[in-house]
Amino acid sequence: MRTVWRLPSQELLQDSGKEWLLNVLANCDDHMRDCTIMLIWRIWSLRSGLTHEKDDPPVTATSDFLQSYMNSLNLCGRFSTDDILKGKMPVVRDAIVEVPAPPTGLHWPRPPLGWAALSVDGAFMQEDGSAAAGMILRDHEGSVIFAAYRCIFNCNDALEAELHAIMQGMALALQHSALPIVVQSDSSTALGALTGDSLSRSAYGHLVLEIKRHLQDREFVPSKLKREQNRVAHRLALYSRTESTTAVWLGRSLPCIEELVPLDCNPIIME
């Protein structure tokens, strides 16, 4: 299926512990997530058939079936039932799911020589109020100085979770490194707490005040990332929120991200 669909790498599609599949899906874009779920569903369907002594269809038949099924779903999303029944739509070949070109330049951007990069992310679930922060500090070679995740209690929204991640990550960076720090986040609003006062008089004022205090002890420079460049911190936060756990590891990766860090650091992207 990789010849026609863009799927997660083989390294990621391995059981690395509880909730491993949810972590993989959370780091996919919408198209890749749909294709991955569809493929897993088909694999389970074939396994069920074999259990009941049905014949195993050829791989080409499964590939054609999945592509046809995905095309049908795409048509349902683009046209009404009446249009489909009356044929008022492009022919099926126009609706073939094409494999998007892989994104370029979306790896983690390493810091300059003599600096460390603190990648942070906050996770928040509106339905149950669960929240967590993920943080990882790496040097210019991509070596892990520390990786951490922490549960956040009494969190009100996603922005508060992002600010907690920045504040707690900065505090850990001050403890475990003497280098100046590039603070990397995919939330431009939260990063604004390092350079402006727009949030100082908001409900997050206490977090902003703590961030400002950290700025007095070390040089911290904000850097806005895209979500695709912040996958490690995102997975740390997601793992902490779903598992309700807190941990700090020095000098190496936490088990839930150990397979992702090497992929994230290759190739080198200097910004």
**Per-residue pLDDT, 267:** 46
**Per-residue pLDDT, 97:** 46
DSSP state of 102: P
**Per-residue pLDDT, 115:** 96
The rounded average pLDDT for each run of 10 residues, N- to C-terminus, in the chain (271 residues) is 76 68 74 83 79 73 76 66 56 45 66 95 92 95 94 93 97 96 95 88 90 95 91 92 91 78 60 36
Dist. CA 175–CA 32, nearest whole Å: 39
**Per-residue pLDDT, 266:** 56
**Per-residue pLDDT, 118:** 97
DSSP state of 227: G
The amino acid that residue 139 corresponds to is D
Closest CA to 271 of 120, 115, 102, 165: 115
CA angle 23, 29, 35 (to 5 degrees): 90
**Per-residue pLDDT, 95:** 43
The amino acid that residue 28 corresponds to is C
What is the chain's Cα-based Rg?
22
**Per-residue pLDDT, 90:** 53
**Per-residue pLDDT, 168:** 97
> Going along the chain, which residue ranges are E strands?
109-110, 116-124, 131-139, 144-152, 181-185, 220-224, 247-250, 269-270
Phi, psi of 220 (to 5 degrees): -120, 125
Cα-Cα-Cα-Cα torsion 214, 217, 221, 225, nearest 10 degrees, comes to: -40
Cβ-Cβ contacts under 8 Å for 271 (sequence gap 6 or more): 109, 223
pTM of the model: 0.63
